[in-house]
Structure 1
Amino acid sequence: MNNAVLRRVVVHDRYQLELKLGYPLQKGRTTRYRIETYLFAPHSLGINATSYPQQEFYRDIQHYVRMKTPSFELNEVLNSPHSPLLRSEMLLQMPRQALTPTEEEALRDSMRILRAVLKSAAQNYLAPLASAPSPMTLATEQEFIERVATATTVLDQVVQRYRALAGPLMEARASDELLRAFRLTDESISILIEDLLLRVHQLAHAWLSPPLLVSWQATLVTRVRAEIDYRTAQGYPSVLQKATRESYMRRVSALKKFTSSVLWLATSTHREGTTWEHVLYAGAAGVSMIFATLVAFYAQAAYGEFTMPVFVALVVGYMFKDRIKESGRTFSSRLLNRHLYDYRTVIETQDGRRQLGTVREKATYVPLRNVPAPVLAARGAGPHDDPAFAGNLETVLLYAKLVTLRNDAFDYLSKDGVEVTAINDIMRFDVRPFLRKMDEPYEERLMLKGDKVRTVRCHRTYHLNLISVFADETGAITCERTLVVLDRKGIQRIEQFDAMGRPAPTGGRRLSLQSADFVENE
């Protein structure tokens, strides 16, 4: 699926889907992308314009906009001229009496970007280990050993060189704020290495036979223990113990936010078309006032000033004036909804000095007969023969986005030497409103097994279908379908299909830092 917009759908938790859209930046060009997502929900869930209006939909989504993590191979983190590690080293090697505020800011950003780059590069490099080989052979064992040994060596060199920056920072009279950023990033990188190696430790049994398994797991344990001891020696509080589980999770989350915040972008959202709305509403009020005034003038001319016919005419005129005004407002609202979006979000740098682009959003219910044919074809394709779709027993909610990125966004974001190729728009969607009308998740049914009747427990699920349509400036259109399987307890799983109904991956392969299916995403 070669669409310009990069898309990945994952389960964030039991009640939230996470949809990540990546908008590639074109150097020296203003780029525009249109993304339409059609949500097909069964009528039995009671989702419609009355029970679930657009404003409630907007309350159930949460947006984060950030720069895409710069892409590096694992070994490039050490030697690429664009590596944030190398840039930090070169900046501190320059002779000076003290660091300038601009240099301190550049160092602080490079340190935090290093953690994001290292995480992405290590996960991508170790991703093949997530799929167990079948069968296990000497070749697969050697592949595991070489990949883990290479990753461990690179990680060791990265932390050694990063921690060696402490001396030059002191010599350059770094501020307390910069030294604190250095230590917080150091702590976060240490936790990242521990998580990666523990995950590899879990996967080792699928790759190695018992003799090698014991040896390599012991090696990994020793390396993990070294990171734990290092954090203890440095006085970092992020050491997981039975008594520190709660504080550990809070600390890890705060460290992740601190280091990744360097890639975040500021946004400001406001309703679109408010000026036009006021103008049209004022026009409707003016038309209604003209009608009432004409009625009053006519009645006074025909019947005099203080007569009963004039009184009746004034009352009737006011009644029609009020209805004309409300009808005008209704017509104006429909006109605006047809031609404008609901909200406009301005994407800016964190300091607010530079505008990078805009995202316009619109949510509306669409009659099934008005859904485009390619969308209906993508909805009906695939292995699931759904009677709800065949019987037109679904409600369709359209969520549309129009993204415009400025022609100087690429140059501005890449001015410090770290190339930023895309902006990520991360949306979390809460599905709990769709669970209200669901039946109990399990039901006992009778089943004939041989000559005997058995009682079996069946799982009752419901399907939401998300059909995403991507269009770029060339007019190229791509459809993708995501099947969300729900029960009353929340999200059970998701499945991805292309426009022809063929299974498709949910995104690039990366080594999860968690043993559960809910993957941490940056």
Structure 2
Amino acid sequence: MENMRERITIRDNNQFEIKYTYPLQPEEKNTRYFVEMFLFIPQSLNINHKTYGKSNFYRDSTNYIRFKTPDFTLPEIIDGDSSPIQKTRMAVKELITSPDSREAQENYNYHLKMFSSILKSALRDEEERLEKIIDCNELNQSVDVMVNTLSRIILEFRKLHNFDSFLSLEDRWKTLFALSDEYISIISEFHLFKVMELLSKKAETEKYAESSTKLRNLINSECSHRFSSGYPSIVRDNSDNETFLYRARTLKKVMGSILFLHTQNYHDGKLAEQFMLSLAAGLAMAVAMLIILLGQKIFGNIALCLGLGTVISYMIKDRTKESSRIWLSNWVKKHFFDYKTLIMDNLNRKIGECRSSISFLKQSAVPPDIMKIRNRDILAELAGGSLREEVIYLRKQINLVNAECNKIWTDFRVEGLNDIVRFNLREIMNKMDKPERELYFLEGEKWGHTDSISVYHLNVILRYGMAAKKIETRKIRLIVNRNGIRRIVETDIGNIT
């Protein structure tokens, strides 16, 4: 059984991104996951429930839910009768044979986009695998295999428009193929550059000269192909490259659209909240009536006493209603979420739901094991709690219907869903001190001033998993200042007892 996992990255100067992957469990009717995030913010920044409410948090966060791209290695993309390239080849032939068939058109559109998405994911995974290789010979051999395999994949894909009668297809289908070809070229070039950059950072770079040459040759080949094909996505030095960035971003959305899901958001617990408010009003009215009846029994029908009792009962009723409303409303917030999100496929079939909420916690309300992880570094421990922090608490519950998910694709297995959350810290960073500081230094007989950078540490603790299953806990430290996010550091939490 595959476990849930996550990946945290810097999106830009202001945003960091967490991508959760929820694997399906085919043997179960439903798959349920939970996610908790504790974000510790220095109290000096004045970020609290009064200055930064729920609406601010939801405004500064963006959420996307999509299918996890089917897993294939680069060789698996091209080898075998059930490989993605073979399925794409069959889809092209089917459209050529039956150009007016709605099913053939949808199949063609589906396979071109799926092939592009699978290749993008496989290149990313291959790049990450190469980063972990230490041995020089093994790395050179792996790069050689990557270049040769990618060259074969690109060649076989471009052969598809050489089929007889391909040019007789409608312009929109030929255009879609050209856009897929352009996107494949762009992503191939990007990851080849990333591998070449990896080799350039190695010690004794001369040992990787041959591999770097092969990478450079394939990059040149792709640049030449896009130029000769009339694709405007060419990166040029001393240019703003606006066209390239726009097309790359747009093509990524177009090709990735095959994986994205529809969502509908609703307020969670709205009915329960209204019921509790009605209950508060009823309770207050019952208390008022009890006081009036009690007054009549004690004082009879004396007008002054009756009027005074009515006023007192109204006062008590008003306070009882308000106190009950606050207490019952807090009860609803504690036991329900802020939002319920329905997750649906392209045919609007429900395949799952996600509930989420956000709140500020007092440090005394943070679970002891989470506080123990937070204070695991020596500086926090020596501070003895004197460094006060505000704690933003985000929680999610995800329920996936396995049977419905497996109906989506006919020729690829749905392995899971990706939940992509982006957090914008700009409002928090605006409250930070200026990042540039001037310090004194002494080196031998020389002394003077030197520039320095002031930063803040925002600690993030993630806890996630399946109910009654293995639970994962990670601690992340965001190093930030007013100019933006500088880096992300994962800290060792050791054994929590």
When normalised by structure 1's length, the TM-score is: 0.84
Cα gap change, 1:483/1:207 in structure 2, threshold over 3 Å: closer, same or farther? closer
**Is residue 428 from structure 1 mapped to residue 429 from structure 2 by the alignment?**
no
Superposition deviation, residue 310 in structure 1? 5.6
* Within-5 A mapping of 1:409-428: 409-413=404-408, 415-428=409-422
Give the Cα–Cα distance (whole angstroms) in 1 for the partners of residues 391 and 259 of structure 2. Answer: 35
Answer yes or no: is the 8 Å Cα contact 1:42–1:395 preserved in 2: yes
The residue identity in structure 1 corresponding to 2:190 is D
Superposition deviation, residue 77 in structure 1? 0.5
**Is residue 270 from structure 1 mapped to residue 266 from structure 2 by the alignment?**
yes
**Which residue is 2:142 aligned to?**
147
| Bigger mean CA offset, 373-382 vs 309-318 | 309-318
Q: How much is the aligned-residue C-alpha RMSD, in angstroms?
A: 3.2
Q: Which structure 2 segments of 5+ residues have no match?
A: none
Superposition deviation, residue 330 in structure 1? 0.9
| Bigger mean CA offset, 310-319 vs 22-31 | 310-319
| SS of equivalent to 2:64 | strand
Cα gap change, 1:170/1:274 in structure 2, threshold over 3 Å: closer, same or farther? farther
CA-to-aligned-CA distance 1:196-224 (integer Å, 9 cap, x gap): 33334444445697878766655544433
Answer yes or no: is the 8 Å Cα contact 2:357–2:396 preserved in 1: yes
* Within-5 A mapping of 1:325-336: 325-336=321-332
Give the Cα–Cα distance (whole angstroms) in 2 for the partners of residues 452 and 368 of structure 1. Answer: 47
Give the Cα–Cα distance (whole angstroms) in 2 for the partners of residues 33 and 9 of structure 1. Answer: 18
**Which residue is 1:408 aligned to?**
403
1:256 to 233, 237, 252: 252
The residue identity in structure 1 corresponding to 2:283 is V
**Which residue is 1:237 aligned to?**
232
**Is residue 284 from structure 1 mapped to residue 290 from structure 2 by the alignment?**
no
**Which residue is 1:463 aligned to?**
457
Give the Cα–Cα distance (whole angstroms) in 1 for the partners of residues 201 and 290 of structure 2. Answer: 87
| Bigger mean CA offset, 3-12 vs 66-75 | 3-12
Cα gap change, 1:347/1:217 in structure 2, threshold over 3 Å: closer, same or farther? same
Give the Cα–Cα distance (whole angstroms) in 1 for the partners of residues 455 and 240 of structure 2. Answer: 38
Give the Cα–Cα distance (whole angstroms) in 1 for the partners of residues 267 and 205 of structure 2. Answer: 62
Give the Cα–Cα distance (whole angstroms) in 2 for the partners of residues 320 and 370 of structure 1. Answer: 32
Give the Cα–Cα distance (whole angstroms) in 1 for the partners of residues 41 and 301 of structure 2. Answer: 62
CA-to-aligned-CA distance 1:440-477 (integer Å, 9 cap, x gap): 21322334544665434343221111111224233433
* Within-5 A mapping of 1:336-415: 336-352=332-348, 354-382=349-377, 385=380, 390-391=385-386, 393-413=388-408, 415=409
Cα gap change, 1:282/1:175 in structure 2, threshold over 3 Å: closer, same or farther? farther
**Is residue 23 from structure 1 mapped to residue 18 from structure 2 by the alignment?**
no
Superposition deviation, residue 167 in structure 1? 4.2
Superposition deviation, residue 114 in structure 1? 1.2
Answer yes or no: is the 8 Å Cα contact 1:65–1:423 preserved in 2: yes
Answer yes or no: is the 8 Å Cα contact 1:464–1:484 preserved in 2: yes
Give the Cα–Cα distance (whole angstroms) in 1 for the partners of residues 33 and 211 of structure 2. Answer: 48
Superposition deviation, residue 424 in structure 1? 0.7
The residue identity in structure 2 corresponding to 1:457 is D
CA-to-aligned-CA distance 1:315-342 (integer Å, 9 cap, x gap): 5544443333222221221110121111
CA-to-aligned-CA distance 1:96-149 (integer Å, 9 cap, x gap): 44452223212211111111211222232243554796xxxxx72x54543333
Give the count of matched residue pairs. 492
2:467 to 462, 465, 473: 473
Give the Cα–Cα distance (whole angstroms) in 2 for the partners of residues 8 and 383 of structure 1. Answer: 26
Cα gap change, 1:380/1:292 in structure 2, threshold over 3 Å: closer, same or farther? closer
Cα gap change, 1:334/1:408 in structure 2, threshold over 3 Å: closer, same or farther? same
Answer yes or no: is the 8 Å Cα contact 1:470–1:477 preserved in 2: yes
**Which residue is 2:178 aligned to?**
183
**Which residue is 2:90 aligned to?**
90
Cα gap change, 1:172/1:187 in structure 2, threshold over 3 Å: closer, same or farther? closer
Q: Which structure 1 segments of 5+ residues have no match?
A: 134-138, 503-522
- Identity value in percent: 28
Give the Cα–Cα distance (whole angstroms) in 2 for the partners of residues 479 and 145 of structure 1. Answer: 36
CA-to-aligned-CA distance 1:380-430 (integer Å, 9 cap, x gap): 2246546556425222222111111113144224x4221221211110011
* Within-5 A mapping of 1:505-520: none
